[in-house]
């Protein structure tokens, strides 16, 4: 499973843990991804996507309602 936002493409970032003795070891920062039900802007269909919280907060995604359609 890839840890990449389906909207903006944000993925893992790498860097170093730096100890008090200045020893460096590799580490990874992962984006805060949420599995959400999203309304596709082109087709209007509901899809499940992995979206980072920055995209959710900034309004780049229109979330689908959780209510089932009444018949």
CB 37, CB 47: distance < 8 Å: yes
Torsion angle (degrees, nearest 10) of CA 64, 47, 5, 31: 60
Give the residue with greater pLDDT, 65 vs 1.
Answer: 65
Which architecture, in CATH terms, is 13-58?
Roll (2.30)
Q: Say yes or no to pLDDT of 27 above 80.
A: yes
CB 10, CB 3: distance < 8 Å: no
Mean pLDDT, the chain, whole residue set: 91
CB 36, CB 57: distance < 8 Å: no
Domain ranges of the chain: 13-58
Q: Say yes or no to pLDDT of 69 above 70.
A: no
Q: Say yes or no to pLDDT of 22 above 60.
A: yes
pLDDT at 37: 94
Q: Say yes or no to pLDDT of 20 above 90.
A: yes
């Amino acid at each position: 499973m890839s840890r990449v936002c389906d909207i903006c493409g944000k993925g893992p970032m790498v860097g170093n843990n730096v100890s008090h003795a200045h020893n460096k070891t590799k580490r990874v920062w992962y984006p805060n991804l949420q599995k959400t039900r999203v309304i596709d802007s082109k087709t209007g269909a509901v899809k499940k996507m992995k979206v980072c919280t920055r995209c959710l907060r900034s309004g780049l995604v229109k979330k689908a309602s959780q209510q089932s359609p009444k018949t």
